[in-house]
Amino acid sequence: MMKTIRILSATAAALLAGCATWTFEPTRTSKFVNERNEYIVVDYGIEEHESTFIAPGGVEMPFKSKLKVRVTMPDGERFVAYQNLSTEGRLYVTDNGRWRFLERGVAAYVAERAPDKNGHVLRYQGTLCASVRNPKNRKKQPSTHSSSTPQGFGRDSDGPRDPSDPRTKED
């Protein structure tokens, strides 16, 4: 009986620890669409996290980050991944290494560990179709966007250029 209670309490503790990563307040949310009109929703959040980066030569290096994502796949499956080192774009990897989310420009890629555990298989590839900042976090993240530019989209812009405006003339 005591062994059963220990197992149940350990399971409950593990579940609660895993649920802690689902409680973050998103700073922004993006939606990506693929050619089959399937969507993924990506919530971006902040949480200090330490992971290990394994270089191509096998060298392990500690890596600290503050960024994480919660990805909801088209079938409803969700995972939380943390920022990792990458030269390819913004890479996020789950703690167990099963999922990888890579954002490169306006494109998003989701890969899942291969069944033979040797590499990853691309499960989703899409293009950004919507991105909004969480209004609760507006004060935390000052915006440099003017009212003509939707918040959360791409690079800073003052909106359409007026050719008669002296600021837009080339010298």
Q: Domain extents for the chain? A: 25-154
* pTM, full prediction: 0.64
pLDDT of residue 56: 76
pLDDT of residue 23: 66
Name every residue whose Cβ is closer than 8 Å to that of residue 85 and which is 6 or more positions away in sequence. Answer: 53, 61, 63, 91
Least confident of 66-80, 93-107, 131-145, 147-161: 147-161
Is the CB of residue 156 less than 8 Å from the CB of residue 146? no
In whole numbers, what is the pLDDT of the chain averaged over residues?
75
| Residue where the block lists tokens 């996290």 | 49
pLDDT of residue 143: 42
- 131 DSSP β-pair partners: 30
In this prediction, residue 131 has a pLDDT band, given cuts at 50, 70 and 90, of: confident
What span, in angstroms and rounded, lies between the C-alpha atoms of 167 and 169?
6
3-state secondary structure of 4: helix
Q: What would you report as the CA-atom Rg of the chain, rounded to the nearest whole angstrom? A: 20
pLDDT digits (tens, 9 = 90+) for 59-68: 888 888 889 9
